[in-house]
Amino acid sequence: MIVADTALPRSRIERWRTAGQLVRSLVRVHPKPFIIAVSAAGVFALCTVASSVVLRWIIDHVIDPRFRAGHVATSTVLVGLGFIVGTGMVRAVAVVVRRGMAGVTRWRIAETLSGDIIDRLVAQPVSWHQLRASGELAARAGVDVDAAVDVISPLPYASSVVLLIAVSAVWLVYIDVPLGLFSIAVFPMLIALNLSYQHRVDRHFTAAQDHLGRLSAAVHESFEGVHVVKAFGAETRETQRLASIAADLRSARTSAVLVRASFDSALNAVPALANIGLIVLGAYRIRSGDLTVGELASMIYMFTLLVFPLRLIGFALSALPHSLAGWGRLREVLDAPLMPDPADSLVVAPPELGVSFRQVSFSFDADRPVLTDVSLDVARGSTVAVVGTTGGGKTTMLRLAAGLLSTSSGSVAVAGGDRSIVLQEAFLLGDTLRENIAFGSVFSDEQIWAALECAEGREFVAELPKGLDTQVGERGVSLSGGQRQRVALARALVRTPALLLLDDTTSALDPSTEARVVANLRSALSDTTVLMVASRPSTIALADRVVFLHDCSIAATGTHAELLESNETYRSLMEAFEVDREAITASLEAPERKDS
């Protein structure tokens, strides 16, 4: 009990402190528009008080004399009306400046913050990205930034409310001390009401936010895997699973609404009842001659003007936990130490070598090595095939050579010049085919077409109505698996790289297309060192040399024929094809005999 009592305020104080830090860090990014917005808010607050002064003056000097004494000077009336219009105008201009500049502050800060995060995301190497879910990382620069800066928009207004309360408190007391004190006593009550609302509803809002996060992650995965869902007829099952999360969200939200309904009506009723109290008290003061009717009306007017701003403080506060959470999450990205770029640890290979591995070891987790003590020299301009079993570390080897992963020990050396890797699963941007091939650099159309030609993609691109300008993705075409692979290959080829790394790049191509691609590569890439993962003998046969990865290290190197001779495991791996080969030759002979 005691523990709970002391723990609660402390955490609350801490939260206020972090909230203060949040605001300070955000405002520091773009202080100028913020200061303008706050100043305009100050003008607004003063005008609000002024308008109540004007109302009092009009009641006492225009309305009252007219209805009691029967006449009033026209000039007096005009002056009063002029004041009403004047304060109204200034107030309106102040509102425009305040809101507009609050928006400038909010969006410029969001722009700067998301820019920082984007820079950070781009600067971090692949290994850093692999440890994090991509959907969450994307949320950092988007939703989380928006959540964090949400706290900014109501701030100028909130600051004017503070000023408004202070000035009007003084003004109310100045008009009439007992009545002023009475109204001032109501403010803390309203603020306490706001805080208690905030405190009670927080739990539900936080829960709702959690459920919403869970829901979007689950929906994302379920739609991403919709092929699997459909393949196993799991639509109903999946819908039910997602529906149960949606139901949690619903009940958290409903609880919040119920709390809100009570407090909303209390927040309406309390000021109204206080107003009635003012009238009753005011009646006594008027009877004793200490107050005029105009003064009382102006106090009531003042009071009604304060109610809405006070409620807005509640809104601003309810955004706070949300903002703090978003801020915390984006700090994780901004404050994460920059991991070293694996590409920086690549060394320059001696002139005769295209790529060279020196006692390279690699593992994702310490107790399960993927590569141990791999040493390999690839002569410049030669083509080497990497062969191995599924999960044998072939892709890992290529990533090391591309500078996408860094070795656990040992070093990788590469020749100077461009390195291009074509990954096992092609990634395309939702952009034009031209942009997908140029990929951030500038190439002439001739170069792009030549690369496509070499990748055997010229034909299908030429058949598209818009050719290279065809959009890929949501606003354009869907490509088949083989078409995607060839676009990715053209992207690598257009750069005429010194080192070309191909990870099973022809796996989705039919044999004749594959044969043509392979032949094109042979003739076009005489100066390029090619390290390629291959599983089909047709591709393996193209290589000058074969590297056989087995049990995390290089079991043998040599030509395809040599390895078949010398290495039992290699032979058994290739046996599958050799066994088939007998049947193949047999079946090929049969029709030939018929022909002759």
Partner 1 sequence: MDEELGGRMGAAQILGRGVRESPLLRQGFGFTMLLAIIGAAGRVVIPIVVQQAIDHGFVRDSVNMRVIAVLATVSSATIVATSLAQRAAVKRLGIRSEGALYELRVRVIEHIHRLSLADHNDERRGALVARVTSDVETLAEFFSWGGLAWILDGALMVIVAAVMLSYDWLLAIIALAVAAPLALVLRSVQRHLVDAYGKARGLNADFLGSVTELVTGAETLRAYGAGPVLASRTKLVAKQRADSFIRAGFIGAYLFPSGEVFSAFTVSAVIGVGVARGSAGGLTAGALVGFVFLTYRFLEPIAEFTEVLDQTQTAVAGMRRLLAVLDLPVGPPQALQPVALPDGPLSIDISDVTFGYRTRGEVGDDQPVLFNVSAHIPAGQQIALVGATGSGKTTLGRLLARLADPVAGQIRLGGVPLTHVSNEQLRQRLVVVPQEPFLFDDSIAANLEFALPGTSFADLERAVTALDLDDWLLTMPDGLLTRVGERGTQLSAGERQLVALLRASVADPDVLILDEATSSVDALTEVRMARALERLAQGRTIIAIAHRLSTAMRSDRVLVLEDGRLIEDGSHEQLLAAGGHYSQVFAAWVSSTS
The residues of the shown chain that bind ligand ATP, judged by CB under 6 A, are: 130, 364, 370, 388, 390-396, 424, 478-483, 508
Helix or strand (DSSP H, E) at 507: none
Nearer to ligand ATP, 75 or 478 (CB): 478
Give CA–CA dist 556/572, Å, rounded. Answer: 14
8 A C-beta contact, residue 59 and residue 297: yes
Alpha carbon of residue 564 to chain centroid: 51
Contact between residue 572 and residue 410 where contact means Cβ atoms under 8 Å apart? no
In angstroms, the Cα distances linking 313 to 22, 104, 310, 366, 591 are: 17, 21, 5, 53, 88
Stretch that binds partner 1, among 15-23, 208-216, 323-331, 344-352 (CB under 8 A): 208-216
DSSP of 455-505, one letter per residue? TT-HHHHHHSTTGGGPBBSTTSBPPPHHHHHHHHHHHHHTT--SEEEEEST
Task: Work out the burial of residue 23: count CB atoms within 10 Å of its CB; fewer than 13 is exposed, 13-18 middle, 19 or more buried.
Answer: middle
Query: Of these, 515, 524, 525, 564, which contacts partner 1 (CB under 8 A)?
Result: 515
Q: Which of residues 96-115 bind partner 1 (CB under 8 A)?
A: 96-100, 102-104, 107-108, 110-111, 114-115
Number of residues that bind partner 1 (CB under 8 A): 187
When binding is defined by CB under 8 A, the residue of 283, 338, 347, 348 that contacts partner 1 is 283
**Which listed residue (207, 536, 545, 566) binds partner 1 by CB under 8 A?**
536
- Within 8 A by CB and 6+ apart from 353, the residues are 377, 378, 379, 380, 413, 415
Q: Which is nearer to partner 1, 33 or 354 (CB)?
A: 33
- 18 vs 507 by CB, closer to ligand ATP: 507
∠ CA 399-551-578 to the nearest 5 degrees? Answer: 95
Structure tokens at 304: 């009604």
Site of interaction with Mg ion (CB under 5 A): 395, 481
333: helix, coil or strand? helix
Structure token digits, residue 117: 């995060």
Binding test (CB under 8 A) with partner 1, winner from 2, 5, 11, 68: 68
**Nearest distance, CB of residue 324 and partner 1, angstroms:** 20
Q: Is 538 in the site for partner 1 (CB under 8 A)?
A: yes
DSSP character string of 15-45: HHHHHHHHHHHHHHHSHHHHHHHHHHHHHHH
Q: Whole-angstrom Cα distance, residue 594 to residue 588? A: 11
Residue 304 is a binding residue for partner 1 (CB under 8 A):
yes
In the list 84, 195, 339, 564, the residue contacting partner 1 (rule: CB under 8 A) is 84
Residues 379-398 that bind partner 1 (CB under 8 A): 388-392, 394-395
CB-nearer residue toward ligand ATP: 154 or 482: 482
Q: Which of 18, 53, 79, 91 lies at the binding interface for partner 1 (CB under 8 A)?
A: 91
189 sits near partner 1 (criterion: CB under 8 A): no
Cα(131)–Cα(364) distance, integer angstroms? 11
Q: Which of 12, 32, 230, 522 is in the footprint of partner 1 by CB under 8 A? A: 230
Q: Are 246 and 212 in contact (CB under 8 A)?
A: no
Q: In whole angstroms, how close is the CB of 512 to partner 1 at the nearest point? A: 5
Q: Which of 141, 433, 468, 489 touches partner 1 (CB under 8 A)? A: 141
Smallest distance from partner 1 to CB 276, Å: 5
Among 6, 130, 359, 409, binds partner 1 (CB under 8 A): 130
Q: Which residues contact 328 (CB under 8 A, 6 or more apart)?
A: none
C-alpha dist (Å) from residue 405 to 106, 125, 399: 38, 8, 6
Instruction: Identify which of residues 195 and 515 has a Cβ nearer to partner 1 in the complex.
Output: 515
Q: Does 24 bind partner 1 (CB under 8 A)?
A: no
Residue among 39, 372, 408, 507 that touches partner 1 (CB under 8 A): 507
Identity (one letter) of the amino acid at 58?
Answer: I
Binding to partner 1, residues 320-339 (CB under 8 A): none
Shorter beta-carbon distance to partner 1: residue 11 or 74: 74
Rule CB under 8 A: say whether 242 interacts with partner 1: yes
Residue 126 CB, shortest distance to ligand ATP, in Å, is 9
Looking at beta carbons only, is 310 or 495 nearer to partner 1?
495
Among 36, 45, 148, 300, which residue interacts with partner 1 (rule: CB under 8 A)? 300
Position 483 contacts partner 1 (CB under 8 A): yes
CB 517 within 8 A of CB 494: no
Confirm or reject binding of residue 125 to partner 1 (CB under 8 A).
yes
Measured from the CB atom, the residue of 105 and 483 that comes closer to ligand ATP is: 483
Residue 316 phi/psi, 5-degree rounding, is -60, -40
142 binds partner 1 (CB under 8 A): yes
Based on the shown chain and the rule CB under 8 A, indicate whether residue 129 belongs to the binding site for partner 1. Answer: yes
Handedness of CA 355, 360, 366, 369 (dihedral sign): positive
Distance, CA of 305 to CA of 308 (rounded, Å) = 7
For 116, phi then psi, to 5°, come to: -60, -45
Q: Nearer to ligand ATP by C-beta: 6 or 480?
A: 480
Q: Tell me whether residue 18 or residue 248 sits nearer to partner 1 (CB atom).
A: 248
Element of type H or E holding 385: strand 383-388
Stretch that binds partner 1, among 117-125, 169-177, 319-327, 378-386 (CB under 8 A): 117-125
| 117 vs 370, beta carbon nearer ligand ATP | 370
In this structure, what are the phi and psi dihedrals at residue 360, rounded to the nearest 5 degrees? -85, 130
CA dist 379 and 391 (Å) reads: 26
Closest residue to Mg ion, based on beta-carbon distance: 395
Q: Which is nearer to ligand ATP, 390 or 512 (CB)?
A: 390
Least separation in angstroms between CB 223 and partner 1:
5
**What's the rounded Cα separation, in Å, for the pair 462 and 282?**
87
For 441, which DSSP code? S
Smallest separation (angstroms) from ligand ATP to the CB of 371: 8
How far apart, in Å, are the Cα atoms of 107 and each of 29, 115, 307, 316, 512? 11, 12, 29, 17, 55
Cα–Cα distance list, 47 to 63, 100, 291 (Å): 22, 18, 23
* Per-residue binding letters, 557-596, with partner 1 (x by CB under 8 A): ---------------xxxxxx-xxx-xxx-xx-xx--x--
69 binds, among partner 1, ligand ATP, Mg ion, none (CB under 5 to 8 A by kind): none
Q: Is position 89 an interface residue for partner 1 (rule: CB under 8 A)?
A: yes
Pick the closer one to Mg ion by CB: 510 or 595. 510
